[in-house]
Structure 1
Amino acid sequence: MCGICGIMTFSPAAEIARDEVRRMNEAIFHRGPDEDGFYHGEQIGMAMRRLSIIDLSSGQQPISNEDGTIWIIFNGEIYNYLELRRDLEGRGHHFKTKSDTEAIVHAYEEFGVECPAKLNGMFGFAIWDTRNRSLFLARDRLGKKPLYYYAGSDRLVFGSELKSLLQSQHVPRRVSPEALDLYLTYEYVPAPHTIFADIKKLPAGHSLLIRRDGKTELRRYWDLHFRENGYHAAELQQGLVDLLQDAVKIRLMSDVPLGAFLSGGIDSSCIVALMARVMDQPVKTFSIGFEEGSYNELEYARAIAKHYKTDHKEFILRPNALELTEKLVKHLDEPLGDFSIFPTYLVSKMAREHVTVVLSGDGGDELFAGYDTYVADWMYRKYRMLPSFLRHSLVQPFARLLPPTEKKKGPINKIKRFVEGTQYPEDLQHVRWMIFLAEQEKQQLYGEALHNIDIRRGAHDFIRSHFQNADSQDYLNRQLYVDIKTYLCDDIMVKVDRMSMAASLEARAPFLDYRVVEYAATIPSALKLQGQQTKWILKKAMKGLLPPPIVKRGKEGFSIPIKNWLKEELRPMMLEVLSPARLKRDGFFNAEYVQRLIDEHLAGAENHSHRLWALTVFGIWREQYLT
């Protein structure tokens, strides 16, 4: 695991300052504290930070091919590199290290821009080809590793994190109003946007070729296709277990200590169970708990730890841990409203004291329909059969009158959230319950700096585009496709990468082995969601490996009691960041409307935690990056 960065100019006359590249690299020291590496040539300057995982003695970067005409810097892990290496050696290539990085260099030499499709792993890499002075950037299929770039008039600047690019004097720091609108709507900024108007994310499953004159070619090398097979449920279950087992096994490849995140949910429990089957020592497991009972899942994590006799460690997250807010926002680079950055960072920090690599259960919800949003949309199709006057004159007013409770979910909170989601356009389907700011609220919230935003269209266009691109006619599979392309890549993967890397920890996700993802796309949707029962086939497949309470329990989510903490421990911070004076100075938001949200939340009349936290995070980010 590493961090990469670099600058390419479009003319030999344009200079690249070595100090500039060095500053870019120092900004991502946390991604690779073990060593650094640099390459400078005509029109190019590249650098990397390395977290040593494989081939500790000879895996230094940058690495070249045999004659030094092709150079690579690489962030990630390639799990099929030994198989790929044997194939390339058979084609006449000669290797000088045992690292996975070198396999990519020779794969590019052999297959050119088609090489990313040969890789099974997580990656973001840059290859400089001296033969034609071109730069080739690529990112893994599911967006597990990040890659950003700025294309100016005379150069391209790239890196694993935004903070690296911002060390270059050539990269402007202008807020994108469109990206800010997307962030406040969904709590993340979807690719290719970033919060900065002039910087882009390289989308997952894409590569970018930059020629010597600055002309670029963005190419999608992978997409997910749904092709249901004719196997019976029992055959599909066994096939799923076998493939997941192999995905886990190849991710145990490491020359450093390794463990697993364990939340007590079905996904992380699956991973620990499959690790225990093939490891010759107890699995090291790490869990986070809460003092608030409805948020605490430690009893389930302990049940798995006991069942598989793991070497188990726990940490209780308390409100004072949110003193980390400014540090974590700094690591994120752009605003992310996901509350679970805190437990993700703290469990990563705890794990890093014992291991360098962890396996996680990320991806199971998107592959097998684990989110409540899928159930909500299923329920809505029944709810809309009610007469319109009952829905609008009785149910909706009743739901609005109910005061929110302090529980994580609970029937009242579920009713309020369900009814709130029904106000959004039906063509957004399950995504309606992933939206946190409606058009009428934007009209009251947005200030002068956002007056040009088209609040009626823009924020939902990318969702509709992904629905159109899904090649399945099945209702649920189209929803899974949308989440894999959006929420998974641009929220979950961003959170896990930044928070684990902040602790210099590598996180691996077996569910996101592209073979598992493609296999899941062959499973009929009726075996994923059955009524209100989520992940049906995964639970059936793992029934013999997990204790019954784990298999039977519903989805809880990796969240924190932020709505309660904003009323108490976090209240001073929120009031400072969202003070009328600061809001009026910045011009992004209407101070009077924000104060109304604060007052209603503190009084317990409404739960505005999502809106208030998103605004608070943006306010902190603005102070760090724009002042």
Structure 2
Amino acid sequence: IDLAAGHQPMTNEDDSLHIVYNGEIYNHADYRAGLEARGHVYRTHCDTETILHLYEEEGARAVERLRGMFAFAIWDQRQSELFIARDRLGVKPLYYVHDADGSLFFASEIKALLAAGAIAPELNLPALPDYLANHATSGEETLFRGVKRLLPGHTLLWRDGAIKIERYWDVAFAPEGEHGSSRKSDEQYVQEWSELFRTSVRLRLMADVPLGMFLSGGIDSSAIAAVMSGMISEPVKTFSVAFAEREANELEYARIVARRFKTDHHEVVVSPEEFFAALPQLVWHEDEPLAHPSSVALYFVSRLAAQHVKVVLTGEGSDELLAGYGRYRKTVFNLALGERYQRWTGDGLRRAVRRGIESRPPGSKVGQKLKRTFLCLTPDIETIYFDNFSVFGRDRQRELLTPETRERIGALDPYAGVRRCLEATDAGTLLNRLLYADIKTYLHELLMKQDQMSMAASIESRVPFLDHKLVEYTARLPERMKLRGLTTKHILRQSMKGVLPEEILSRRKMGFPVPVGAWFRGKFHGIVDEYVLSARARNRGLFDEAYVRRLVAEHQQGANHTERLWSLVNFEIWLRQFMDGEASPHLHPAASEAELALR
């Protein structure tokens, strides 16, 4: 908004406040007239200036007025203090280093902190189990020792070398049974939810530059396309990506939606050669290892979009809000099955079955799943959930990490961050507790890749499903409106009935299909050899060589270790880029443009 006048840092009327800011505030115009009536003088039409004037009026509480995605810092010259805030869901990133001498460095990218000399690159070993289990680090910790992230919905105040961090927002799920007495019909819920969703999309169409959207053909992006097409006069610009050899299947559903809404549709097909050639550069852009191969696809479709638009809308967040992943359904079902088993069988039979399962070889996949789900032998259902759906669960990490590495890490608890999230919520039901945990952990990884990959192509991505008013309403819906029997995202499907083609409404969630597993078995197996089995990787002493070789051999013979090998490959690329200093010098931004430091 008002790009020509939006230079930063921006100051208020008397130069007592200075702001640097990344993001978009969609309701900034709602406050302008009132602020001007109270004597505030605007020099631009930027949303940045509204943040400044609101802060003048309300201080830290001003952040609660903002509807949008943001990370900003305000230096108060009179009070000699710095106020930093991050949006409620964490769409925009913010990292910081707080030195022992009280110095504070902050930036939207970790590489800017490195370029500024805020910290020397060093592996944060205690964060490694989190990465190995969950695709990425969650919570405050990063893989860089001394670099922390400001959590979504939090503020940071720096004064006299000390920092104070406070939470200003959290998603509140309805406690168990609260909706039992609700008199609203399903139709009322659908109508209210649909209105909030449409409002969220409309707000994110606010721009002074061309905009479009990423279209996968799944129900999330298709719903956005449907709403957008009814709100703008020209055809919606849509962008899709697929991989060579599979593009026909991957693009089929996106084309169905594009035809239905007569969009201006564009596609890019990525070859495996292009895919692997891009990895080092994209790891550099993301600051931490690429959690999922879809990051590469996201980068290529962002480059395509950048030829036509400056802003795109995307479908992230729907799965975590509306129970879109199959693992929610499986976990709820397995728990119910395990409870019935405990009720319907006698002690003698259960002991016999338990002995039979525990006698299976340690690596038995069937034995592990039976033990953790059907028999409910582990202490809590959350452990069952995360053990079954993590990349390297607790048992596998004991095999992967060398004894020396485990000793340096200390107690091996890859789910400590998740457990803290679960303990912090009164969400009540199992499904809501799992959704809350994923919003606090897994969603972070999705938003990180979305922001970093789109910004690497110089476009901005906006996320309608994560409007905080829509999130608050959705979280308090009865569970039947999210997961109904075997049907996920029930309320979204109902809201799009008669709008989206039936093949889109009834399509099973596929994720983003990336044939990396087949590539690792084929002519690109050398990628695994180079980054996982190389002398450089072995000499780090982090991972057990025999176990890693077994993973590679089993994958070549048909086992599916794609996610595990992907994690190890990207971790080694990241180590070489940042710990060994192999990142291309020309990629580094100027520190003066990317960071601020206070001493």
Counterpart AA for 1:104: I
Matched residues in 1 for 2:34 and 2:529: separation? 60
SS across alignment from 2:461: strand
1:550 to partner: Cα distance: 0.7
Root-mean-square deviation over aligned CA pairs: 2.3
CA distance 1:136–1:361, shift in 2 (3 Å) = same
1:554 correspondence with 2:501: no
Counterpart residue number, 1:43: none
**Matched residues in 2 for 1:621 and 1:534: separation?**
36
Residue from 222, 230, 233 that aligns with 2:186: 233
Spell out, residue by residue over 1:444-499, the C-alpha distance to the aligned partner (whole angstroms, 9 max, x if none): 2213344232454x31121112112222212212211111111112x110110111
1:472 aligns with 2:420: no
1:107-159 per-residue CA deviation (whole Å, 9 max, x = no partner) reads: 11111111111100101111111001111111000000000000002311110
Q: Residue type matched to 1:571 in 2? A: H
> Does 1:247 pair with 2:194?
no
Q: Give the CA deviation at 1:302.
A: 0.9
Is the Cα–Cα contact under 8 Å of residues 122 and 145 in structure 2 kept in the other structure?
yes
Gaps of 5+ in 2: 581-599
Partner residue, 2:491: 537
Pair 1:136-2:83 in alignment: yes
Aligned equivalent of 1:161: 109
Residue aligning to 1:88: 35
| Alignment of structure 1 residues 340-379 onto 2, 5 Å | 340-379=294-333
Cα-to-partner distance string for 1:50-99 (whole Å, 9 max, x where unaligned): xxxx1022111111110000000100011001002223223221111000
1:314 aligns with 2:267: yes
Deviation, 1:421, is: 6.8
What amino acid is the match of 2:147?
I
Task: Quote the Cα distance in structure 1 between the aligned partners of 2:368 and 2:513.
Answer: 16
Which residue does 1:145 correspond to in 2?
92
Contact preservation (8 Å) 1:139, 1:147: yes
How many residue pairs match? The answer is: 558
Output the CA distance in 2 between the equivalents of 1:326 and 1:571.
17
The residue number in structure 1 matching 2:24 is 77
Q: Tell me the secondary structure at the aligned position of residue 267 of structure 2.
A: strand
Q: 1:110 to 1:499 in 2, by over 3 A?
A: same
TM-score, with length taken from structure 2? 0.89
In the alignment, which residue of structure 1 is the partner of 2:577?
624
**Counterpart pick for 1:431 among 386, 399, 413:** 386
Contact 1:580–1:591 (CA under 8 A) maintained in structure 2: no
Counterparts in 2 of 1:421 and 1:583: CA distance versus 1, 3 Å: farther
**CA gap 1:318/1:580 in 2 versus in 1, 3 angstroms:** closer
Alpha-carbon distance in structure 2 between the residues aligned to 1:420 and 1:487: 25
Q: Counterpart amino acid of 1:473?
A: G
Following superposition, the deviation at residue 289 of structure 1 comes to 2.1
Amino acid at match of 1:482: A
Partner Cα distance (2:495, 2:291) in 1: 34
SS at match of 1:451: helix
Please say if 1:451 is aligned against 2:407: yes
Give the TM-score normalised by structure 1: 0.85
Q: 1:371-404: per-residue Cα shift (whole Å, max 9, x none)?
A: 11101102212442457555874799699889xx
Instruction: Quote the residue 1:112 is aligned against.
Output: 59
Does 1:62 find its partner at 2:9?
Answer: yes
Measure, in 1, the Cα distance between the counterparts of 2:311 and 2:368. Answer: 37
Say whether 1:487 aligns with 2:434: no
Listed as ranges, the matches of 1:572-611 within 5 Å are 572-604=526-558, 606-611=559-564
Q: 8 Å contact 1:284–1:312 — kept in the other structure?
A: yes
Match of residue 209, structure 1, among 128, 148, 157: 157
Q: Which amino acid aligns with 2:153?
A: G
Deviations 1:326-359 (A, max 9, x none): 1111111112322211111111111111111000
Give the aligned residue type for 2:157. Answer: L
Which residue pairs with 1:441 in the alignment?
Answer: 396
Are the counterparts in 2 of residues 376 and 418 from structure 1 also a CA contact under 8 Å?
A: no
In structure 2, which of residues 254, 259, 263 is the aligned counterpart of residue 301 of structure 1?
254
Q: Which residue of 2 aligns with 1:176?
A: 124
Q: CA separation in 2, counterparts of 1:271 and 1:532?
A: 24
Q: 2:459 aligns with which of 505, 519, 523?
A: 505
Secondary structure of residue in 1 paired with 2:3 = coil
Choose 438-447 or 57-66, whichever is displaced more: 438-447
2:454 partner SS: helix
Q: Shift of the alpha carbon at 1:569?
A: 3.9
How far apart are 1:624 and its partner, in Å? 0.7
Deviation at residue 566 of structure 1 after TM alignment: 1.1
CA shift for structure 1 position 275: 0.3
Secondary structure of 1:166's counterpart equals: helix
CA distance in 1, matches of 2:147, 2:298: 26
Q: Write the distance in 2 (CA, Å) between the matches of 1:271 and 1:540.
A: 14
Distance 1:396 1:368 in 2: 39
Note closer, same or farther for the CA distance 1:424–1:376 as it changes in structure 2 (3 Å cut).
farther
**Corresponding residue of 1:334:** 288
> How far off its partner does 1:522 sit?
2.2
CA 487–230 in structure 1, closer or farther in 2 if over 3 Å, else same: farther
Q: Measured at CA, do residues 392 and 270 of structure 1 come closer, stay the same or move farther in structure 2, by a change above 3 Å?
A: farther
CA distance in 1: counterparts of 2:227 and 2:190, whole angstroms:
14
- Where structure 1 has 5 or more consecutive residues not aligned to the other structure, the ranges are 1-53, 403-414
Amino acid at match of 1:459: P
Instruction: Give the conservation status (yes or no) of the 8 Å contact 1:373–1:433.
Output: no
Residue in 1 that maps onto 2:591 = none
3-state secondary structure, aligned to 1:459: coil
Partner SS for 1:533: coil
SS, match of residue 278 in structure 1: coil
Within 5 Å, which residues of 2 pair with 1:9-20? Answer: none
**What is the CA–CA distance in structure 1 between the aligned matches of 2:477 and 2:396, rounded to whole Å?**
40
Query: 1:417: Cα distance to partner?
Result: 10
The Cα of 1:419 is off from its aligned counterpart by: 5.9
Contact 1:295-1:559 within 8 A present in 2 as well: no
The CA distance in 2 between the partners of 1:398 and 1:214, in whole Å, is 55
